[in-house]
Amino acid sequence: MCLLALAWQMDPEWPLVVVANRDERHDRPAATLSCWSDSRIVAGRDLEAGGTWMGLTGDTRWAALTNVREPGLKPGGGPSRGGLVTEFLQSEDSPQAFYQRHAASFKDYAGFNLLLRAGDQLGLLSNRGSPLQILPPGVYGLSNAALNTPWPKVQRLRAQLQAGLPAVRTHWLQWLSDRQTAADAELPDTGVGLEIERLLSAVFIANPVYGTRCSTLVLQGRGEWEIQEQSWTPHGQPGVLIHLRG
């Protein structure tokens, strides 16, 4: 994922609510949301490296990954960050146990943030900044920097989820389809240049080379789960809407 907002233990029916956009090159092959035939994972799938950006197994296990924007660093030959999501979902680890098993290898990866839910714990791991946080109940926003970094799109999506949580099923796709870019004075300086900062400042990135590939809603309750995914064409038109539940 490149942008998500989540409500953790803020809704009595759904302990975890996530709204998220995956931004990626349009020519990078990927499979749409499905129940994987070779495991219990429910997720889309990166067909280039084999992992995933976000997925769940059942009603109490979920994981998502965002890359950390580091334009001056171009590591090559390292392991796929999406493999970390798959490994966690296939394991029985708590966030702490997963961190302890994998921390020594984090230096081999390009920058990432990894959100991990196991039962009543939600953890954030990163190889840039704080290595492990167990998050208390709250509404959070995450993009390609630290948790709750005040980029305009992070603040906007987080505020919309916080205010509209009871009606998230009605409004999630509207929030994630927002193509409004931020004013230049509000833009962060992440080293990619003003024109690209403008492009990346929208919740929904509309660009035929690199842009929003899919928008996703995740709901995990007590004994049930639901996930919806809207795919998008390279020209920003809606593709397939997939709705799975269990």
The pLDDT value recorded for residue 76 is 59
Give residue 222's pLDDT band: very low, low, confident or very high (50, 70, 90).
Answer: confident
Give the integer Cα–Cα distance in Å for 204 and 181. Answer: 9
Mean pLDDT of the region 8-15 = 97
Closest CA to 141 of 164, 115, 167, 118: 115
Q: How confident is the model at residue 80 (pLDDT cuts 50, 70, 90)?
A: very high
Distance CA 9, CA 114 (A): 19
Domain 3-245 has CATH 3.60.60.10: yes
Tokens of 84: 């970390």
Could you give the CA distance from residue 161 to residue 86 in angstroms, rounded to a whole number?
Answer: 27
Which pLDDT belongs to residue 21?
98
Over residues 136-144, the mean pLDDT reads: 98
Domain boundaries, the chain: 3-245
| Burial track 32-51 (b if 16+ CB lie within 10 A, e otherwise) | ebeebeeeebbbbbbeeeeb
User: What are the tens digits of pLDDT across the range 85-95?
Assistant: 999 999 999 99
Mean pLDDT over the full length of the chain:
96
According to the model, what pLDDT value does residue 181 have?
Answer: 98
- Report residue 131's pLDDT band, with 50, 70 and 90 as the boundaries: confident
